[in-house]
Amino acid sequence: MHKVLAMVLAGGRVEELSALTLPRTKAAVPFGGQYRLIDFAMSSLARSEIERVGVISLYRPSSLIDHVGGGEPWDLAGRGRGVKILPPFQMEEGTRWYAGTADAVYQNLAYVERHEPTEVLIVSGDHVYGMDFRPVVKQHRETNADLTMVVKALPAGSGHGQFGFAEVDKERRVTGYEEKPAHPRTNLASLTMYLFDSAKLFERLEENCLTGSSRQLYDEVIPEMVGKDRVFAFPYEGYWNYTRSIGSYMQANLDLLGENPSIDLVGWNVRSRCPHRGLGDLPPARLAGECSCTSSLLGRGVLIDGTVSGSILSPGVRIEAGAQVVDSVLFNDCLIRYGARVERAILDKGVCIGREARVGGPRKDEPGGECKAPASDGVTVIGKGARVPAGTVVETACVIYPRIVETDWPGSHLASGARLGRGGQVE
C-alpha cells in the first residue's frame, strides 16, 4: 500500500530572527496571536491526510516539544498515526550533532524505515503557507518521479542569493538546479518541500554520508539528483513566506489583517495547541468602555483599556488606559502600562513596557521615521520577559535581549539600531 511519511525540519535557530530565536527554535516562534510557525507545516500535513510525522529538532527544542506534544491538534494521535520528535542522539562511535538536513534525515533512517513508507515528504517547519500535498503526491506517482520538488514562480528579479532555482521543461521535469545563484536563469524558486521515492532517498542519503561535506539536502543531495534521477517540479501558486528576517516575519503577521487577508487561517484549517496559563482556560477578550481597537487580531484573555490599531495581540496581553499600540505584534502576556506607546515593534512573551515609555516608531519612508538595519525593516524587537523602564525611549530597529530588567538599562534613551545585550551592554 502507498503511504507517505513526512519529516519536518524544525531544528534551526535562524539568527536573523534575533531575540525571538534566543529562547526557542525558529519553528516554535509564536505567530499570529495564538499559533507557532510549525502549525502551518503541521496543518498542511493534516489537511493532506499524512498521518505519520517525524519532527527533527536540534536548537532549544523545549517549546517545540511542548507544542507538538502527542500531535492531538492535528489529529495525529491514534492507531496507525503519530508524531515523533527526533532529537540528535549519542552513538557507539561517539557524539555529534546533525551536520545538515541530509544528515539529520540520514541519522533517523531507522525511524523512517520502520514505517515502510513508499514516499518521504521533507518540509521545513518554519514557513508560513497553507498547502494540500495530495496533488503533489498524485503528480509524483503519475510521473514515476524519484523526487518532486515544490516550486513557486517569483516576481522577476527577486530572491537572488536567497533560494535555490530550478529549470523546468514543459513536462515539469527539472533539467537544471542552482542553489542561491547571484543571477538565476529562471524565476522558479524551490520552497524546500521535497517528496522522495523512499528507496531512492535511502540510496542517495547513503552516498551523501560517504561523500558529502555540507550534508545539506539543498546544496548536495538535490543538485546531485537533478543530474541523474527523475526529478520533477510541482508549481505552487498560493501564499508562502519563509519569515527569514524580522522584516518578513513582521510582514507575514500583518498579512493576517485587512479586508481579505492573504493568510487564510480558516480556509487552510490552521490548528494549534491551545495555550494555558495556570489551570483555567482564558476568557474571551475584554474591551473596556474607553478603549479603541481597529484592524487587529485579539487572542483569548486579552484586556484592552487603551488604543490598538493594526496589531496582533496574543492571549493574555493587557493594554492599560492611555497606552497606544500601533502596527505591532505582541506575544502572550505582554503588559503595556499607562501612557506608553508601541509602534512597529515585536514584543516577545511577558514583555512589560513601563508607563509613558516609547518603543519603536514609524516606517522609514514616513515623516520622522529612520532605519539603520534594512533586514529588520525598522522593526524593534524586545526579547522574552524583558522590561522597559517607565519613561524610556527605544527607537526603531532596536533589539533588546530577553530578561533585561529595569536595573540593566544604561540610560533612558536607546538610539535607532542599537542592541541592548545581556547585562545592559549596548552594541
The residues binding other proteins (CB under 8 A) are 32-34, 73, 257, 259, 265-266, 269-272, 274, 278-281, 283-301, 303, 312-313
Name the minimum Å distance from CB 361 to other proteins.
22
Residue 191 or 298 with smaller CB distance to other proteins = 298
d(CA 405, CA 411): 12
Name the minimum Å distance from CB 32 to other proteins.
7
Nearest to 370 by CA among 301, 309, 417, 308: 417
Grid coordinates belonging to 6: 513526512
Contact 366, 346 (CB under 8 A): no
Residue 285 or 393 with smaller CB distance to other proteins = 285
Grid coordinates belonging to 203: 540510496
Name the minimum Å distance from CB 21 to other proteins.
23
Nearest to 339 by CA among 318, 355, 362, 351: 355
**CA dist list (Å): 231 to 44, 106, 179, 198:** 23, 20, 15, 14
d(CA 391, CA 411): 11
Spell out a b/e string for 344-356, using b for 16 or more CB atoms within 10 Å of the CB, else e: bbbbbbbbbbbeb
How many Cβ atoms from other residues are within 10 Å of residue 109's Cβ? 16
Residue 63 or 332 with smaller CB distance to other proteins = 332
Residue 32 or 71 with smaller CB distance to other proteins = 32
Name the minimum Å distance from CB 67 to other proteins.
14
Name the minimum Å distance from CB 362 to other proteins.
18
Name the minimum Å distance from CB 35 to other proteins.
9
Within 182-266, strands assigned E span: 188-197, 231-235, 240-241
